[in-house]
């Protein structure tokens, strides 16, 4: 797996999720959203996105994304995440 390419694809996907409102993210709780994407190299990747309560229901939301190419990387995908507060701001930014 080309880790640089995979990181770029995951960052692009998560940037779309960052534009969602808090309420939109709440509606995705406990779902696994999967998507197949192709890299410029021609490699195929699978992205999984999950939304969780970060600590307690009604509080911050953590959005976690993982990407792999279906090979060995499926056992240890690249991951990234962000945390959104109920007012729509991001923790740590």
- Residue 71 has a pLDDT of 81
Per-residue confidence band for 74, with pLDDT thresholds at 50, 70 and 90 = confident
Q: In 1-93, which ranges are continuous DSSP H helix?
A: 3-18, 22-26
Query: What is each CA distance from 79 to 41, 58, 59, 62, in whole angstroms?
Result: 20, 24, 22, 13
Give the C-alpha separation, 76 to 39, whole Å.
Answer: 19
What is the pTM for the complete model shown?
A: 0.90
- Per-domain boundaries in the chain: 3-84
At 2-19, the pLDDT tens digits run: 899 999 999 999 999 999
Give the C-alpha separation, 40 to 15, whole Å.
Answer: 19
Give the C-alpha separation, 38 to 61, whole Å.
Answer: 28
């Amino acid at each position: 797996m080309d880790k640089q390419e995979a990181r770029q694809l995951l960052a692009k996907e998560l940037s779309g999720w960052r534009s969602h409102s808090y309420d939109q993210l709440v509606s995705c709780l406990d779902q696994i959203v999967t998507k197949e994407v192709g890299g410029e190299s021609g490699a195929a990747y699978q992205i999984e996105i999950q939304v969780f309560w970060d600590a307690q229901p009604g509080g911050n939301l953590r959005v976690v994304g993982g990407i792999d190419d279906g090979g060995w990387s499926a056992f240890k995908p690249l991951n990234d995440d962000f945390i959104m507060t109920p007012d729509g701001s991001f923790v740590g930014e």
